[in-house]
Amino acid sequence: MLDKIHKVDPRSIWKHEAHDFTPWLAENIIELGEAIGIELEVSEQEADVGGFSLDILAKDLGRNANVIIENQLATTDHDHLGKLLTYASGYDADVIIWLSTEIREEHRQALDWLNQRTDSNTDFFGVVVEVIRIGESRPALQFKVIVSPNEWQKSKKKQLNIASSEKSEKYRKYFQELIDDLRENHRFTSAKKGQPQNWYTFSSGNKNFLYGHSFAQGNRVRTEIYIDSGDLDENKEFFNKLFAEKAEIEKEFGQTLEWERLDSKRACRIAIYRSGSIEDSSEELQEIKDWGIQNLLKLRNVFVKRR
């Protein structure tokens, strides 16, 4: 005999949207990211946008882009659609996520229209929040993605420059294979979507830095610790703290690292390089990918304990 699935009113779990649901979502942002295929990291709750407050400002770690998340534990309405566009403009967001318990058909159409008419770097998502219970089990939350970008429509906008488009596709394919391997075989990331760009960053669980892998200038490939908490002084202080442990860190890593304080910039970098280009053969790119994965895992082993 099978139990039936029952829907539970989300407001019986989270009494207040701002005080209860938003903090819960911020602490469990990985689950939302997994639902839409993006590795998310929270930057700020109740972020200021003029005289308004955005529920959650986050980062798409894959492309280091701003993500805005507007919560509505009710059926979507015009007021929240207006707020969504205001917040997207205020933070120049690349990813816009509208969470609600029910998406009206006219609002679904509006999000689809925005996905079709905006540029290829801007993605709108409409996500329904559902709480279910099986028999007498504890309630469980699930995110149902109702609206997502139409990649076929957006890909047409990339065909204006064929050479650039072909190179972007090579980057997308390379990083798709990289993140799939890291996610499925090493539990390194929850990201699911490769991007048409020459770099990708991953959460470290530490607000001070990210892990990164990129094709750099001069036909070089890089894996790195990218230090950027958002504050220049904090970044330089954290870099100096790590640099004081340089000998020990390089001994643990097993190789000499490049220590780039980047005094003319806000961020800092600790990296290892090798030769390589996205234009290399498929065999060479496979070797580069294996090298990148090996060094990302080594960086995690060395730096995960350093706060």
Q: pTM score > 0.85 for this model?
A: no
11 falls in which pLDDT band (50, 70, 90)?
confident
CA distance 186 to 87: 36
Q: What is the pLDDT of residues 208-234, one digit of tens each?
A: 899 999 998 788 999 999 998 878 889
Residue-level pLDDT at 295: 97
Query: Residue 162's pLDDT band (boundaries 50, 70, 90)?
Result: very low
How do residues 116-143 score in pLDDT, each as one tens digit?
888 878 999 999 998 887 777 788 888 9
Least confident of 54-68, 81-95, 152-166, 270-284: 152-166
- For residue 158, the model assigns a pLDDT of 46
What pLDDT digit, counting tens, does each position of 88-111 carry? 999 999 999 999 999 999 999 999
Which pLDDT value is given to residue 151? 60
Q: Is the dihedral of CA 248, 254, 258, 261 positive or negative?
A: negative
Which domains, from first to last, does the chain contain?
5-156 (3.40.1350.10), 161-303 (3.30.1460)
